Structure 1
């Protein structure tokens, strides 16, 4: 009877392998990759290149290693909210909650740095990790399988995003920037640029602030009185005059609920809204009116 069970398990793994081989290296516009380690030789390294600013990787039954080169179609110059440009690109990796069977390294000029280690089934989910690279710097991700007797339950899967340097303020991995830089208020120039370049621009009030210790983030519950723009569906509601949504920011910034109307701007980070500049609406309106009179606004907003 045990022999029959082993034979059935082997047949299932073989069927999965056949399906995975058909899907291996599948990439929609070379944004994502899905494959199986069962098609790799022990000790081999498969070279993968992805060319989008965001995507996914799913490695079933990890075996051997993968070397992933991220070559996004981003503008040649990364422009910050103040109009500065350095060409610095920030990349973030979000492992799935079931990330098992491999270790993820950052390969920078031939030197490996561990980003995400293999984990026990009972371990808490790994956190988002971020890093930056300069123009011309050789950076890759190196995914190495760890030996396991039962590989049928191992899947190394993660999502990735690449952004310009100024969106590092939205990083979940607070080690990439100082708390002072992440939490400082935006100046008028940064505010006006954020209105033009953010994924969402919303006027609203803070209903409450909750702490998410797992994310090391503060979750700001917002009642939006006007949604000027949202790239993704973040703020929804039944009322035409009011909708609700959530915005996250670093926990150490110490955001507290308070009265007054704010202009919330920011970026979508792995499907969630992260705070960029958030001046009081009256302060934004004053800066916007002065800049418009001087013909120095980078773009127009249909303000009251």
Structure 2
């Protein structure tokens, strides 16, 4: 149409074809739905990594990766681990009974977080897990490793003395049992020091982490962002295969410890000899507080 005039159309001409959809846009919608990335997929993708203070600011709803969540009737792929043993004994229920590999680098939450905090009804401490790589966020493997490292730390003397007599007796019994020759415990390589894992008693089995705003508020006085509850559930007797594997790992850890002790640098020995006759041991305030 030019100059306001209607163009002439032959009376027998076929009607114009209906408008066609935007093919590119339709294909984009289809591929976006079909090829959508799993929010818990490994790698630096699918959204930003949030700092804890931003979670509350943007009212983000945090979901926990099913792999590190408690098992459910509809989800049978989860971690199995007695937390008094090294993380090398943790395995996935759907995989071979060996130390888990697949899923270690998967994000522990969605949206991804730069750090999380963990509390529990089974111990009085707060465990902080920080992401080693800021573009990926806290991973499932980092959660397990941080918990294990914390549990193998020493209990301060004032912490032990601050609980009831009955609770001290329970902790002491767990301490004795964990260092026994029973195949269900690590044994003597734990050392003489009272460790946080002894605090768990019989509830030493991994039960997953969950969002529990009610418990967080009860324990911390407020609903702190990025704070989750660790479920500690009763341990179970090991199968003969698991017992053999635990003992093998324990022997390996003990041999590595002895090897490190024998391979100290000569310079360290020389420095020690030069200081003979003097007390060169440094005691920190934290060491003074450790249970002995």
For Structure 1 versus Structure 2, the TM-score category normalised by the shorter chain is under 0.3
Higher relative contact order (CA 8 A, sep 6+): 2
Higher helix share: 2
Q: TM-score, normalised by structure 2?
A: 0.24
